[in-house]
Amino acid sequence: MRCRQASQLISEGFDRTLSRSERRRLRLHLLTCTACRRFRAHLRLLDRLLPVLLAQLRPKRTSVRLPVDARRRIEGALPGTPRKEADA
Ligand SMILES: [Zn+2]
């Protein structure tokens, strides 16, 4: 396996489960290739950090608090909302 295929598999491995033979060939390549091991380490790091960074970039939602009675009416109108007997 060449670096080009290996990096492709490393990348795809984040989106799908690699087949047994793909994993075996990739593992063999990674044993001998520092560059691809480094590439995989970087992708793993990005995979962990990206959601955190995106969450920080997203504008904060201003929270609006509804009065209790308005909230009850909305919840009561929604289908499948369990009604509490104690409230009735
Ligand atoms: Zn390689």
Residue pLDDT, tens place only, 21-64: 999 999 999 999 999 999 999 999 999 998 888 888 877 777 77
**Which residues fall within 8 angstroms of residue 87, CB to CB, at 6 or more apart?**
72
Q: What is the DSSP string of the chain?
A: --HHHHHHHHHHTTTSPPPHHHHHHHHHHHHH-HHHHHHHHHHHHHHHHHHHHHHHHSPPPPP-PPPHHHHHHHHHHSTTPPPPGGG-
Residue 65's alpha-carbon distances to 22, 46, 81, 84, in angstroms, are 52, 36, 19, 21
Q: Is the pTM of this model over 0.95?
A: no
Q: What percent of the chain clears pLDDT 90, i.e. is strictly above it?
A: 56
Instruction: Quote the ligand 1 centre to 85 CA distance (angstroms).
Output: 64
How far is the centre of ligand 1, averaged over its atoms, from the C-alpha of 83 (Å)? 60
5 Cα: distance to centroid of ligand 1 (angstroms): 8
